[in-house]
Amino acid sequence: MTTFFSFKADPPLDLIDYVVGIDADSWLDTLRRGREVLRDNAQKSAELLLNPLEDGEFLQTHRLAVAAFVAGLHGDTAIYRLYLDLLERSEQGKELSPVIKNLLRRGRTLGPYGAYPAGPLSVEDLNGSGFEVLDVNVDRSLARALEHAHFLTFHPRDASVQALERLKEAGWTDTGIVTLSQLISFLAFQIRIIHSLSVLRDVGPTAGDILSESPS
């Protein structure tokens, strides 16, 4: 196995397999290939969102910065280190790496915060402070993207048009906002898959036997 992950590796590397440490023909590999379409689509989504053929308004370095930040907020060390490594190996990424590390020290919290519409779920309402990126080494567009990533991670109940206006004021277009939001939501999905597979890896092959016996 290569010492670092690359979207351009030959033969291609599956990001989730790489992070979890799933070897070809292992029981976890067999388990994943039982859901081949899900496995392939997860990899294709990672490639489209994090290694696009064309950056557009959302530079790849900025995508990787957001990815490292979100992974760090979720507290997943393995995927955070992978994205931080990709960031540091990207154009101008080394300059952003210490910034992301500093922002994580300030941005980690619990949550989720926010308020539900008045009703039975209101008992779960929880107030939490917002998050601002004030670092002078981060351009305005990326700063708003990182704030939005923190917002969607910890304040999903508070999603609103007003929250999107801050992105537009920093120059984000509707297309860029959709791509950014897709990236953040995909990362939440990816991190959960990695966590689940890591738990199964640590339990061992008996977990696969139990899963195969469970009703579908």
Q: Which long-range contacts (CB under 8 A, 24 or more apart) does 4-12 make?
A: 4/85, 4/89, 5/82, 5/85, 5/86, 7/46, 7/47, 7/50, 7/51, 8/51
- For residue 160, pLDDT beyond 80: no
State the pLDDT confidence band at 212, using cuts at 50, 70 and 90: low
How confident is the model at residue 1, as a pLDDT?
39
Q: CATH second-level architecture of 54-111+131-195? A: Up-down Bundle (1.20)
Looking at the chain, the whole-number percentage of residues with pLDDT higher than 70 is: 87
pLDDT in tens, 126-148: 666 778 898 767 899 999 999 99
Instruction: Count CB-CB contacts under 10 A for residue 166.
Output: 14
pLDDT in tens, 42-79: 999 999 999 998 888 899 999 999 999 999 999 989 99
So where are the chain's domains? Answer: 54-111+131-195
125 vs 142, residue with greater confidence = 142
How confident is the model at residue 56, as a pLDDT?
86
Can you give the C-alpha Rg of the chain in angstroms? 19
How confident is the model at residue 207, as a pLDDT?
58
State the pLDDT confidence band at 208, using cuts at 50, 70 and 90: low
* Centroid of chain to Cα 28: 22
The pTM of this model reads 0.88
- For residue 154, pLDDT beyond 50: yes
State the pLDDT confidence band at 123, using cuts at 50, 70 and 90: low
158 vs 128, residue with greater confidence = 158
How confident is the model at residue 211, as a pLDDT?
55
